[in-house]
Amino acid sequence: GMQAVRGMRHGRRKGTLNRPYKRRKRMLRQLVTHLVTHERILTTLTRAKTLKRWADWVVTMGKGGTLGDRRRAQAILYTDEAVLKVFSVLAHRYKDRNGGYTRVLRMVKNRKGDNAPMAAIEYVDRPGELRDSNPPAHQLPYSKMILRAQEKGDDKLVEYYRQMQTDVIAGQQRTLRHKAQHLLRPGERQSSWWEGMQDYPHPLRELHDELHGKEGAAA
């Protein structure tokens, strides 16, 4: 009979963690659920490095806040409490931070038995973190280009980049307002979801209250 030919693993940088795909995915889903719940866990160094991508990924979904983001997060996280925390607590905490939501710190001692290197992975910007995190960079678009143009003394280029900066910020505000109007509008589909968000701060809460009033927010 025909025999399968195994190719070389050139360019395949994704770690398999010594598990087939379904078992590896199930293990990472369990780890990221525990990490969101407790905000710090201890695991092996290899697992922590792989888990970091998943942990940052779910925070990006929470900051997106769309229905599609919520369904993707529900397909990863095992508990409803973890999903709610991602879209409320973590999304609000990292609204000014672009990436870098987790850190991996290698432990001094390896695990007894198999001598596996261990590491702690945790979310940053919270009380009791293992190391102080750098503040998020509050940087407007085109700010570096404006600074370079000012150093060169090119006033026309400075004015051009300032206009580009104004246009980009206006576009971001339009996107946020559109999201608040169409995704957070009180109604049959959104009311139960918004009731679950009342106990947590949310980055779109002020805009939601402005558009629909306090009565609509409480509905």
Listed in sequence order, the DSSP H helices in the chain are 21-38, 45-64, 67-74, 80-85, 91-93, 143-152, 155-183, 191-196, 205-218
pTM above 0.85, yes or no: no
Residue 201 lies in a domain: no
pLDDT in tens, the chain (219 residues): 556 666 787 877 777 889 999 999 999 999 999 999 999 999 999 999 999 999 999 999 999 989 999 999 999 999 999 999 999 999 999 988 888 999 999 999 999 999 999 999 999 999 888 888 876 655 677 888 888 888 888 899 989 988 988 888 788 777 766 665 655 554 444 444 445 444 444 445 555 566 555 544 444
* 7 in a structural domain: no
d(CA 72, CA 66): 10
The answer to whether residue 212 sits within a structural domain is no
Report yes or no on 145 lying in a domain.
Answer: no
Residue 29 tokens read as 């889903």
| Bridge partners for 103 per DSSP | 122
User: Does residue 111 lie within any of the structural domains?
Assistant: yes
Structural domain harbouring 65: 20-137
Q: In what order do the strands lie in the sheet with 40-44?
A: 40-44, 118-123, 102-106
Does residue 187 form part of some domain? Answer: no
Q: Is residue 164 part of a domain?
A: no
How far is 168 from 19, CA to CA, in rounded Å?
Answer: 45
13, part of any domain: no
Q: Which residues of 77-101 are buried (b: 16+ CB within 10 A; e: fewer)?
A: bbeeebbbbbbbbbbbbbeebeeeb
Domain count, the chain: 1
CATH code: domain of residue 84: 3.90.1030.10
Angstrom distance (rounded) from CA 117 to CA 185: 49
What interhelical angle do 45-64 and 67-74 show, nearest 10?
Answer: 150
The neighbouring-strand residues paired with 122 are: 40, 103
